[in-house]
Structure 1
């Protein structure tokens, strides 16, 4: 089964917890702090594997979670960082944040890698909190949570040549004639509902990858019919071969068909109008094709090369393939992706932007929400009194205490952050 669009969940590994420990050596029974830091959590990394041609595997596994880092140990031993979780994807995979729609990365080259979800840093052990004022601190951090979110993967085939045209004009027959691919062929519309790939070898030793793409109809740029499922794959092809039923075997007008599909491509993405194109005037073995071909050439003019062929009898196939190979030789090896869809890399800031917290009241409980305060709760080890005091001090410095007073909180009121509840001390 060909799958070109999936939604999956990714999570970087949590950092390991820091440790509270002290040196216990001979002649030094009450030594200084010796709690090590936790190790960093593993990243979730996407890597391009040219052996993959579909997103089928992601239909059965939708959650990808990297391992957490090791916890810190005594004797100042730091925990080991977790290895990254490498997820293989086919070339041509676009990764988007499912919530915002932002393009995270566009993976096209073999072995290209991108960190999608970062692992959390390890929590600091009490060795890090020693100071002249507090030489033996009972404070350690839990590991930072790893990034987690849903992403959408969209596959846009990387083919040299894309066969486009209305349903039942002979695209699948043409692909089966020039390559070893065996797409489904039938005498009804939309026989091809998924792209098929084939390697075409020209007699002079040159070769290229050709894709038989599902048929277009009016309104495809708005998603009508197979719409966007088809058009996304056209974007990456270097050359378009527009297959036209020159015999008009279903009472259609070959020129109008060609014109309509060119308009659909332009309305979907203007850059497609400038994509190099050849016309394969197919079904030349049927009655009326010669007359229609002459009229078609008069209307199209010299702007697009027209090659009369018959996929059924192989008439004109050799000339068409040589023309395609020559055109490919004159073009760059890869189609330039438009700027709005081509992020150079995923950029991480040195620290998260500090978002303001919010306070709301549920019955008699004051609920504090915000990324920074929630991460603070997750990284605080509440089994140590000094850690609790540090937590309260940071909240005060952030202005949470003053904000709670402004909302009407009084001594003894319950304050909730995530699943933790605290008594407000004024």
Structure 2
């Protein structure tokens, strides 16, 4: 997922089609001088529809769509013929896409399944033709319904990455390195903060041809929930993960404190994140010997399973996979 191609936020004006007007028409045939009303109904205006597509990972294809407009319905005709419906516009989006009203911020729809279709902006209903209004006391109505207007509003689409496990840590904690070693993903890896500027997904192979998906989320810093660093832009991607793998390097001044800061930022953003299963991986463990690890283990946070790992030396990675798989399936 190249950073230039990963778009997780788009805004556009969504306008559905107007409904067609009902027809005012009377049957006129030879030998039938008073055939009665036979005006048909107008066609429905086109909908704007969101459809889930599991093959999409980004909103890039919608980046330059500033106005999405559906067709109007056609008016009704004689012989009770209905007008044609306006053509719907279907926007395919990745799973995990949330649509919000730009003005109110209210969530409109959420796409979570492949092939799922939800109407984002419904088209206007077609008007009824004059044949509908015929009664015993009014056998020749000279009126019909106009079509209902379509709707128009500005919409925001936000993508929340769907993955089994989200990697949570400060910049330069080794998240991208772990992802590159455990999966076929090739995120940018370098020895400076904020190398990762977009979420990266990797499929991790497990025993008996099983697998799970890990998301490398751009690094969090203290104050991220208040907009510092990369801010909350990527915190929303963590909401979609089944569990969280916290990563703190062994050369941290205080592993327990760093973990608590990370947990605190997630809590400020969304307290429900505390309900997710959590595992702590202490990275870069190739810098330690067994004796040092035993001593440091006593200082680690309580109440969370922890493990020392090294992505470079492939130390304890199989044990980490076992821990994650067990937690995912518990």
| Mapping 1:111-122, distance limit 5 Å | 111-122=115-126
> Which residue of 2 is the match for residue 273 of structure 1?
274
> Which residue of 2 is the match for residue 124 of structure 1?
128
1:113 & 1:73 partners in 2: Cα distance?
A: 31
1:36 & 1:262 partners in 2: Cα distance?
A: 63
Say which SS state the counterpart of residue 131 (structure 2) adopts.
helix
1:159 & 1:209 partners in 2: Cα distance?
A: 5
Deviation per CA, 1:205-263: give whole Å up to 9, x if none. 32100001000001111122112112101111111111111123xxx432221121011
| Mapping 1:6-405, distance limit 5 Å | 6-131=10-135, 134-248=138-252, 252-286=253-287, 291=292, 293-294=293-294, 296-330=296-330
1:190 & 1:289 partners in 2: Cα distance?
A: 31
Deviation per CA, 1:247-283: give whole Å up to 9, x if none. 23xxx43222112101111121112223211111111
Say which SS state the counterpart of residue 234 (structure 2) adopts.
helix
Judged with a 3 Å threshold, the aligned counterparts in structure 2 of structure 1 residues 98 and 273 are, in CA distance, closer, same or farther, namely same
Structure 2 unaligned blocks of 5 or more: none
User: Deviation of residue 173 (structure 1)?
Assistant: 0.5
User: Deviation of residue 80 (structure 1)?
Assistant: 2.8
Say which SS state the counterpart of residue 265 (structure 1) adopts.
helix
2:290 & 2:147 partners in 1: Cα distance?
A: 72
1:148 & 1:296 partners in 2: Cα distance?
A: 59
Deviation per CA, 1:106-146: give whole Å up to 9, x if none. 22122222111111111222323444555433323331111
Q: TM-score w.r.t. structure 1 length? A: 0.72
Say which SS state the counterpart of residue 300 (structure 1) adopts.
coil
2:126 & 2:296 partners in 1: Cα distance?
A: 69
Contact 1:309 / 1:316 at 8 angstroms: preserved in 2? yes
User: Deviation of residue 64 (structure 1)?
Assistant: 2.1
Q: TM-score w.r.t. structure 2 length? A: 0.92
Contact 1:95 / 1:153 at 8 angstroms: preserved in 2? yes
Q: Which has the higher contact order (CA 8 A, sep 6+)?
A: 2
Deviation per CA, 1:146-203: give whole Å up to 9, x if none. 1221111111111001111000111001000000000011111100010000000024
1:114 & 1:45 partners in 2: Cα distance?
A: 6
Contact 1:308 / 1:316 at 8 angstroms: preserved in 2? yes
1:14 & 1:123 partners in 2: Cα distance?
A: 10
Give the paired residue count.
Answer: 326
Contact 2:256 / 2:301 at 8 angstroms: preserved in 1? no
Which one has a bigger Cα radius of gyration?
1
Structure 1 unaligned blocks of 5 or more: 331-426
Contact 1:206 / 1:325 at 8 angstroms: preserved in 2? no
Question: RMSD of the alignment, in Å?
Answer: 2.0
1:272 & 1:81 partners in 2: Cα distance?
A: 45
1:112 & 1:76 partners in 2: Cα distance?
A: 35
Say which SS state the counterpart of residue 298 (structure 2) adopts.
helix
